[in-house]
Structure 1
Amino acid sequence: MVVKSGGGGVGEEGAACAAVRRWLEAGGGRLVLDGGLATELEAHGADLNDPLWSAKCILASPHLIRKVHLDYIEAGANIIITASYQATIQGFESKGFSKQQGEDLLTKSVKVAQEAREMFLKEHPDQSTPMQHPILVAASIGSYGAYLADGSEYSGDYGEAGTLEFLKDFHRRRLQVLAEAGPDLIAFETIPNKLEAQAYVELLDECNISIPSWFSFNSKDGVNVVSGDSLIECATIANACAKVGAVGINCTPPRFIHGLILSIRKVTDKPILIYPNSGERYDAEKKEWVESTGVCDGDFVSYVSEWCKDGAALIGGCCRTTPNTIRAINRSLNQCLPAP
C-alpha cells in the first residue's frame, strides 16, 4: 500500500511535487536526465586522477564541463546535473583555497551548467521557454563518502564520522551556497545510508530551502542501499520530507532497477527517478570500473520500457553512460506507454 506523500498543493510538500509534476507534464509525461560526467570529461582529455574527481574541472577546465553539459542537452536531456558531486568547501580548502574561494567554485558549477543551457536556447529559439521543453539544472550534492574519495559512498561506512550532527555540519554551507546559486533542482545523489538521508531532510528544513530536491539512493543487491539499510526505510524518510519532489535510484546496475522501483512505490507516490550505471562495478581500491556484466548502451536501453511501466518518470544514466545512451533512452521513451 502506498503511503501518500501528502501536500494538497498548498503545503511545501505539495509545492515540491507540483513543480516536478509540472515539468513532467511539459515534457510529455517523462523527463530525461543526462548521463555520466566523468566519462565524458575524460573523453575530452581531462585528467581526473584527483580526490576532487570531476570537480577538478571546475578549477582547471570549466569549458570542458560546459561542453559535456551541452552535448547532453543536444542528446535530448531535460535535466543536466552540475559538476559539484565531489565538490565541497572542505575539499577545496584541502587544496589550499580559502572558504570563500571554495564557495565561489561551488557557485561556478551551477553557473557553467546554466551557461550551457543558455547556449543551447540561443541556438534553438523555438525552445526558448522552460515549459515548452524543460531544460533544467540540478545542483549535485554527493555524500560525505564522495568527499573522502575512498569508495565509502559505495559502503556507507563512515566510522566515527557517522553521526547526524557531523553530517549536517559537513553539508550545511555547501547546500546553502548551491541553493543560492539558483539551480532549478537540488540532487542529493548516491545516498548510501538512512543517516545521511535524515541529515539532508533536517538541513532542508533548517536552511529553509525552497528549491525542489530529489533523493537518489544506490544499491548493490537490489534490495537494500549499499550500507545494508533498508531501501524502503530510506525512501520513507525521503517521502516524509516536504522539500523532496522525487525519489529514486542512481549508480546501480540496471538489472536491479525493476525491483527497486517496486520497493519505492510501496512507500511514496512522489515521482520516481532512476539513472543507473552501465552495469559495471567500481573497485574502490583500484579506483576503476571492473567486471562488466555485459550491459552495454544497447542492453541498458532495452530496460527503459520496463522501467516506464514500473512507474519511473525521470530516466537517465549514471557512471559510464554517454550522450549516445541518452539519445537511445529518448528513442525508447517515445515508444513507451503513456505516462500514468
Structure 2
Amino acid sequence: MVKKIQILDGGMGRELSRNGASFRQPEWSALALIETPEYVRKAHDAYIHAGAQVISTNSYAVVPFHIGEERFATEGRSLARLAGSIARGAADASVDPVRVAGSLPPVLGSYRPDLFEPEAAKPILNVLIEALSDNVDLWLAETQSSIAEVRLVAELLKDDPRPLWFSFTLDDALDEQGQARLRSGESITDAVAAAVELNAAAVLFNCSPPEVMSAAVLEAAASSTLTLGVYANAFEPADQKRGANVGISAIRRDTQPPSYLRWANEWIEQGASIVGGCCGIGPEHIAALSAHLPTSNDPLSGPHD
C-alpha cells in the first residue's frame, strides 16, 4: 500500500515579513498579532491554498523572550487566544479538511537547552495552553532541544485527550558516528523512547538543516513504530551556528522547492509520513510537496499508511 503523507505548513515569520506585515526583532512573528493580525490570516490562507493539511498557530513568539515580561503578563493570554482563533478561522474556511496544531515553543529560548528551567517554563506554557485550547485539534511542542522540555509539556497536558506531537531540533551536523543528536546532545533513540513513554502520537524533527534529518528519521524508525515527520529550515550554515533569535538569518540558495522536494522524498523513504517546512520554507515549497506527494484524503484522522 502506498504511504499517505500529511502535509504541514511552512515558516510563519518570513512569510509575514515577505508580505508586508509588521515584523522585527525581538517581537518576531508576534508583532503581527499585535499590529497587523490580518496578515497572520493571509499567511495561514496561503499555506492552506498551497495544500497544507495541518497549520500551526502563530504562538511561537508569544513568550516573554520575544514580547517582554510586562507585555506577556498583560497581553500574553489574549495574543495567544488571538493566534488560535485566527488559525481556527482559516482552517474552518477551507474547502478541504485542515487541522490546527497548537504551537508550544521552547519558552525560555530556542536552541538553548541550557536555559531550560521547568519551574520558570511552566507558568508560560500554562498560559499558552489555556489560551489556545479552544481552537486546536492537536498539540505541537516544537523546536524542543531536550527531552526535559517535552517531559514538562506532557506533564501539563496529561489530562488532554488530543494528540500530542513532539518535534525536536537537531544539532547542525552529524556526530563522529554519523548520527543525529538533539541540541542537548541526547540521542534520537532516547528522545523517541521518551516520546513513547509520554504517549506522544508522533515524533518530528524541525528547525534544523535538511542534511541531518534523514539520519534522525532512520534512527527513530529503527527504534519505534511512532509516526514520524520532518520540517527543516533553510538557514545558511553560518547562521545555523549562531543560534535562533539572533538577528534575521540569511536563507540558503539551494532550498528552492525542487530541491526541498527531493529532500522530502528522502525523508519519506527513511520512514517519515508528515512533511512540511520551518524557517525560510514558504507556500511555494508546500505547494510542491502537495503536488508531488501522495497525500492522505482524510487528514482529520491523522497520518496513516
Same fold per superposition (TM over 0.5)? yes
Q: Where does residue 14 of structure 1 map in the other structure? A: none
Alignment partner, residue 232 of structure 1: 189
Q: 1:73 aligns with which of 19, 28, 48?
A: 48
- Deviation string, structure 1 residues 158-213 (Cα, Å, up to 9, x no partner): 1xxx333333344223223222x2301111000011211221122222xx222212
What amino acid does structure 1 have at the position aligned with 2:270? D
Tell me which amino acid in the other structure corresponds to 2:144.
Answer: I
Please tell me the residue identity of whatever aligns with 1:267.
Answer: S
Q: Equivalent of 2:262, from 302, 308, 312? A: 302
Q: Paired residue for 1:64, among 39, 53, 75?
A: 39
Report the more deviating stretch, 262-271 or 189-198: 262-271
User: Structure 2 CA distance, aligned partners of 1:80 and 1:272?
Assistant: 17
Give the distance between the partners of 1:203 and 1:322, measured in 2 at CA. 32
Conserved 8 A contact 2:24-2:31: no
2:228 aligned partner: 272
TM-score (norm 1): 0.77
Q: Which amino acid in 2 is paired with 1:111?
A: S
Q: Distance in 1 between matches of 2:60 and 2:232?
A: 16
Per-residue Cα deviation, 1:211-233 (whole angstroms, up to 9, x for no partner): 21210001122411112222221
Q: 1:43 to 1:234 in 2, by over 3 A?
A: same
Aligned pairs for 1:1-340 (under 5 A) are 29-88=4-63, 94-96=69-71, 98-99=73-74, 101-121=75-95, 127=96, 134-146=97-109, 153-158=110-115, 162-179=116-133, 181-205=134-158, 208-219=159-170, 220-222=172-174, 223-242=180-199, 244-281=200-237, 282=239, 283-284=242-243, 287-290=247-250, 292=252, 294-334=254-294, 340=305
Structure 1 window deviating more from structure 2 (74-83 vs 261-270): it is: 261-270
Q: Kindly provide the amino acid, as one letter, of the partner of residue 100 in structure 2.
A: V
Q: Tell me the TM-score normalized by structure 2.
A: 0.85
Equivalent position of 2:177 in the other structure: none
CA contact (8 A) 2:256 2:285 kept: no
Mapped partners of 1:333, 1:193: distance in 2:
31
Distance 1:196 1:185 in 2: 18
Residue deviations 1:130-156 (CA, integer Å, cap 9, x gap): xxxx3111111110234xxxxxx2232
Q: Deviations over 1:297-337 (max 9, x none)?
A: 321111222222211111101110111100111123149xx
Contact 1:86 1:141 in 2 (8 A): no
Q: Is the 8 A contact 2:9 2:277 kept in 1?
A: yes
The 1-side partners of 2:65 and 2:269 are apart by 42
> Gapped runs of 5+ residues in structure 1?
1-24, 122-126, 128-133, 147-152
**Number of aligned residues:** 287
Is residue 301–residue 329 contact of structure 1 (8 Å, CA) maintained in 2? yes
Change (3 A) 1:54 1:331: same
CA–CA distance in 1 between the matches of 2:152 and 2:73?
Answer: 25
CA RMSD of aligned residues (A): 2.5
Q: How much has 1:236 moved relative to structure 2?
A: 1.5
Question: Shift in Å at residue 55 of structure 1?
Answer: 1.4
User: How big is each residue's C-alpha offset from its partner over 1:19-58, in whole Å with a ceiling of 9 and x where there is no partner?
Assistant: xxxxxx9xx8211000111111001112422323101111
User: In structure 1, what residue type is equivalent to 2:122?
Assistant: K
Between the aligned partners of 1:291 and 1:324, the Cα distance in structure 2 is 15
CA contact (8 A) 1:35 1:316 kept: yes
The structure-2 alpha-carbon separation of the partners of 1:229 and 1:279, relative to structure 1 and needing over 3 Å to count, comes to same
Q: Which structure 2 residue ranges, 5 or more long, are not aligned?
A: 175-179, 296-303
Distance 2:149 2:66 in 1: 18
Letter in 1 for 2:278: C
Question: What is the CA–CA distance in structure 1 between the aligned matches of 2:21 and 2:49, rounded to whole Å?
Answer: 21
- Aligned partner of residue 201 in structure 1, secondary structure: helix
Q: How many percent of aligned residue pairs carry the same amino acid? A: 27
Alpha carbons of structure 1 residues 120 and 163: separation in structure 2 relative to 1, 3 Å = closer
Distance 1:300 1:52, change over 3 A: same
